[in-house]
């Protein structure tokens, strides 16, 4: 151990024993001294230790990377440009996840060994809990950008390093990542890192904004700045709002700006609550106006800002009309209301919007409770048929012996037990409107041919009738099972399958949706409205955390029930963990650990039909994760999560390297 390291350890011990006011610690900023205390008192780290940085094995690094695949892809450009600026001065660039694990890294290959030893490397764990006071770890703990310079580090092994880190926040105010530049050696004064700090903050801001703009590319984006000159190229504040003018995302600076204006979260607030302008005015902020005429003031502190509003690509203004609803004629409001910005769902909604009045039949698939019937109703309400009936038939709920008479109807006295006045039948009831056939996979095979005739000929033949009756219906069918598989097994007619499947809409399970928070807030507002309450219940952060971690096997139906229950029993308008239904917490806890059951990829028992189906697809793609994810239309990360949930491992850890 060197003399400098011995001195350093003595200083840290003094602070630990006598507090932050110790004279020998006066050269260190308050934030550093507080971190030292945290390391000793909370993380139980020994100031005398000399522990090299922990580098995770490659499969663990991969797990961390997979959690943020989209983000990494976007951040890469920022890392490369930043590296070009600083490489000549001996810095490396690191990007860590919110837990402090380095998930991307750029450094000088010639210094590979030394960088690895110092922990300036892919896979290094810089959380404060493991590494002590350091750029990344202390940035995560404080949520602020900072430089941890040489002797600021807790562990004496790190004192040659200088590390400057800035947080990158997500669109709901959560910490997404930390951007860091570090060097193995540097001048002694900490001020030498001043420009480094500004540079890292600037790039962190740009990565945050780039990710935000990508995530909300299908929504209204409001760019705001205090001066008009840089508004187009480098806005300070970003907000994403839905078609009703409600905030669904924001960057960090916008959160801080509006935190000063009013208490409470920014998500869910209305445009006209935040600004002295109404939603109808928004049209005049869409790029047609010269930038310096786009001034707007905030509602609270009357702060002057400049605003540039960009509508979603598919919904661009057609004739200069103002107001969001009128600007966005392509997506009808009932469909728009189904999503709070989930990209997968938005894609389905945009596709369906194009088919809204077309005669093609639609097939909606999705796990139970994903809102298939809700979606079908929204299609009906968005279409020209909205004045006609919406008839929903659950093929699984009607006894097989009654399906025929219920659906097709019958003439008086056509069979024993028939009502004397006959029955019109649900297909005929839907005339002029939409017939929703839920659980179509349960339609008895014998009736499938008759249904096909209804679809092909647009006529229905009631039992006992000699002549068919014409019907004008739009058919939307839904199933949670794999209809193609039923066709292969001979349990479902292929001609009916193709007729029903004019277009296929696949609804994502709730656990894969990015708008869970939005759906919770929407359901809370629904609850308040239904009960004539003026204020909407709020969700305490601990409760939100539990809800976000839950696996939601019952999807939106389960969420709806949980929210209804919690909103009804909570006190003072805030939902605490105790307000969640009994057993919910146990289920959440049980959902978190690794699955015990491991379905073997190539052979062996499979736990359930979902796993079996997924294994089939994986096998079909030779266990290539990217190809399988592409085939299923989901992100690789989602596929990994689904495999994990179902206990599927790739055989011999084969992977798509």
Ligand X SMILES: Nc1ncnc2c1ncn2[C@@H]1O[C@H](COP(=O)(O)OP(=O)(O)OP(=O)(O)O)[C@@H](O)[C@H]1O
* Binding residues for ligand X (CB under 6 A): 338, 366, 368-374, 438, 478, 480, 523, 556-557, 560
Kindly state the tokens that stand for 277. 């302008």
CB of 516 to ligand X, least distance (A): 12
Are 323 and 283 spatial neighbours (Cβ–Cβ below 8 Å)?
A: yes
Which is nearer to ligand X, 397 or 446 (by Cβ)? 397
Measured between alpha carbons, how far is residue 561 from residues 290, 524, 544 in Å?
A: 49, 11, 16
Longest dimension (CA), the chain: 105
CB of 351 to ligand X, least distance (A): 17
Tell me the three state secondary structure of residue 290. Answer: coil
Which CB contacts under 8 angstroms, 24+ apart, belong to 411-417? 411/462, 411/463, 411/464, 411/465, 413/464, 414/462, 414/463, 414/464, 414/465, 415/463, 415/464
Half-sphere exposure of 151 toward its Cβ, with a 13 Å CA cutoff?
20
Which is nearer to ligand X, 327 or 376 (by Cβ)? 376
End-to-end CA distance of the chain: 42
Please name the helix (run of DSSP H) or strand (run of DSSP E) that holds residue 35, with its range, or none.
helix 30-41
Measuring CA to CA, which residue among 105, 60, 558, 523 is closest to residue 337?
A: 523
Measuring CA to CA, which residue among 451, 443, 453 is closest to residue 491?
A: 443
Q: How many CB atoms lie within 10 A of CB 287?
A: 12
CB of 386 to ligand X, least distance (A): 17
- What does the alpha-carbon distance between residue 434 and residue 377 come to, in Å, rounded to a whole number? 9
CB burial class (10 A; 0-12, 13-18, 19+) of residue 85? middle
- What does the alpha-carbon distance between residue 75 and residue 167 come to, in Å, rounded to a whole number? 13
CB of 526 to ligand X, least distance (A): 7
Which is nearer to ligand X, 72 or 519 (by Cβ)? 519
Which is nearer to ligand X, 29 or 551 (by Cβ)? 551
CB of 541 to ligand X, least distance (A): 23
Q: Which residue lies nearest ligand X, judged by its C-beta?
A: 371
Which is nearer to ligand X, 92 or 519 (by Cβ)? 519
CB of 350 to ligand X, least distance (A): 16
CB of 179 to ligand X, least distance (A): 37
Which is nearer to ligand X, 311 or 371 (by Cβ)? 371
Half-sphere exposure of 242 toward its Cβ, with a 13 Å CA cutoff?
24
What is the per-residue burial (b if ≥16 Cβ within 10 Å, else e) of 599-626?
Answer: bebeeeebeeeebeebbeebeebebbbe
Q: Tell me the pairing of strands 362-365 and 503-506.
A: parallel
Which is nearer to ligand X, 343 or 371 (by Cβ)? 371
Which is nearer to ligand X, 159 or 478 (by Cβ)? 478
Tell me the three state secondary structure of residue 453. Answer: helix
CB of 365 to ligand X, least distance (A): 9
CB of 367 to ligand X, least distance (A): 7
Orientation of helix 30-41 relative to helix 3-18, angle to 10° = 80
- What does the alpha-carbon distance between residue 518 and residue 510 come to, in Å, rounded to a whole number? 12
Q: Tell me the pairing of strands 295-297 and 237-241.
A: unpaired
Which is nearer to ligand X, 236 or 442 (by Cβ)? 442
What is the per-residue burial (b if ≥16 Cβ within 10 Å, else e) of 344-375?
Answer: bbbbbbbebbeebeeeebbbbbbbebbbbbbb
Which is nearer to ligand X, 45 or 338 (by Cβ)? 338
- What are residue 348's DSSP bridge partners? none
Tell me the three state secondary structure of residue 303. Answer: coil
Are 212 and 205 spatial neighbours (Cβ–Cβ below 8 Å)?
A: no
CB of 446 to ligand X, least distance (A): 23
Tell me the three state secondary structure of residue 416. Answer: coil
Which is nearer to ligand X, 102 or 370 (by Cβ)? 370
CB of 371 to ligand X, least distance (A): 3
CB of 556 to ligand X, least distance (A): 4
Which residues, at least 6 apart from 48, have a Cβ–Cβ distance to it below 8 Å? 9, 13
CB of 349 to ligand X, least distance (A): 11
Kindly state the tokens that stand for 7. 């001195």
CB burial class (10 A; 0-12, 13-18, 19+) of residue 243? buried
Which is nearer to ligand X, 51 or 368 (by Cβ)? 368
Which is nearer to ligand X, 258 or 560 (by Cβ)? 560
Which is nearer to ligand X, 105 or 374 (by Cβ)? 374
CB of 388 to ligand X, least distance (A): 20
CB of 518 to ligand X, least distance (A): 10
Which is nearer to ligand X, 235 or 366 (by Cβ)? 366
- What does the alpha-carbon distance between residue 525 and residue 573 come to, in Å, rounded to a whole number? 12
CB of 342 to ligand X, least distance (A): 11
Which is nearer to ligand X, 298 or 370 (by Cβ)? 370
């Amino acid at each position: 151990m060197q003399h400098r390291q011995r001195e350093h350890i003595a200083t840290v011990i003094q602070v630990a024993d006598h507090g932050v006011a110790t004279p020998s610690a006066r050269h260190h900023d308050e934030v550093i001294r507080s971190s030292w205390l945290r390391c000793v008192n909370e993380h139980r780290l020994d100031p005398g230790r000399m522990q090299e940085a922990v580098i995770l094995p490659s499969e663990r690094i991969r797990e961390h990377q997979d959690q943020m695949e989209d983000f990494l892809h976007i951040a890469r450009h920022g890392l490369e440009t930043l590296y070009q600026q600083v490489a000549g001065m001996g810095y490396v660039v690191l990007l860590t996840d919110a837990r402090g694990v380095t998930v991307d890294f750029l450094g000088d290959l010639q210094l590979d060994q030394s960088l690895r030893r110092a922990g300036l490397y892919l896979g290094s764990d810089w959380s404060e809990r493991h590494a002590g006071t350091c750029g990344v770890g202390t940035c995560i703990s404080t949520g602020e950008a900072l430089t941890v310079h040489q002797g600021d580090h807790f562990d004496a092994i790190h004192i040659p390093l200088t590390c400057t880190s800035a947080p990158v926040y997500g669109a709901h105010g959560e910490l997404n990542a930390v951007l860091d530049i570090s060097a193995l050696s540097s001048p002694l004064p900490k001020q030498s890192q001043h420009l480094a700090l500004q540079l890292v903050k600037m790039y962190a801001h740009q990565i945050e904004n780039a990710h935000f703009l990508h995530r909300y590319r299908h929504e209204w984006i409001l760019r705001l700045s205090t001066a008009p000159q840089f508004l187009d190229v480098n806005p300070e504040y970003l907000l994403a709002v839905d078609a009703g003018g409600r905030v669904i995302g924001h960057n960090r600076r916008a959160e801080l700006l509006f935190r000063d204006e009013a208490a409470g979260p920014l998500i869910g607030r209305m445009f006209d609550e935040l600004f002295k302008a109404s939603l109808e005015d928004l049209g005049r902020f869409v790029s047609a106006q010269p930038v310096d005429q786009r001034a707007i003031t905030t509602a609270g502190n009357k702060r002057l800002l400049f605003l540039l509003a960009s509508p979603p690509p598919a919904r661009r203004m057609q004739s200069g009309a103002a107001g969001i609803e009128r600007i966005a004629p392509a997506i009808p409001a009932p469909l728009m209301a189904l999503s709070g910005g989930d990209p997968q769902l938005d894609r389905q909604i945009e596709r369906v919007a194009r088919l809204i009045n077309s005669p093609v039949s639609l097939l909606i698939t999705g796990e139970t409770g994903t809102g298939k019937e809700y979606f079908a109703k929204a299609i009906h309400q968005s279409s020209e048929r909205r004045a006609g009936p919406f008839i929903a038939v659950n093929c699984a709920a009607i006894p097989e012996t009654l399906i025929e008479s219920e659906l097709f109807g019958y003439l008086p006295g056509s069979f024993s037990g028939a009502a004397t006045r006959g029955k019109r039948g649900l297909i005929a009831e839907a005339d002029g409107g939409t017939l929703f056939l839920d659980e179509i996979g349960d339609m008895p095979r014998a009736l499938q041919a008759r249904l096909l005739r209804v679809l092909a000929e647009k006529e229905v033949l009631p039992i006992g009738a000699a002549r068919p009756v014409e019907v004008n219906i739009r058919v939307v069918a839904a199933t949670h099972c794999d209809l193609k598989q039923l066709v292969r097994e001979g349990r479902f007619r292929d001609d009916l399958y193709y007729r029903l499947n004019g277009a296929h809409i696949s609804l994502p399970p709730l656990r894969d949706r990015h708008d869970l928070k939005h759906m919770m807030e929407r359901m809370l507002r629904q609850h308040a409205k239904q009960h004539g309450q003026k204020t909407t219940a709020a969700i305490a952060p601990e409760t939100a955390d539990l809800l976000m971690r839950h696996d939601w096997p019952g999807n939106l139906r389960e969420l709806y029930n949980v929210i209804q229950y919690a909103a009804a029993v909570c006190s003072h308008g805030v939902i605490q963990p105790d307000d969640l239904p009994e057993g919910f917490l146990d289920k959440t806890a049980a959902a978190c650990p690794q699955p015990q059951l491991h379905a073997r990829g190539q052979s062996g028992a499979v736990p359930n039909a979902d796993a079996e189906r997924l294994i089939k697809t994986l096998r079909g793609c030779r266990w290539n994760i990217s190809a399988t994810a592409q085939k299923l239309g989901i992100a690789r990360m989602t596929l990994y999560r689904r495999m994990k949930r179902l206990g599927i491992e790739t055989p011999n850890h084969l992977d798509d390297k």
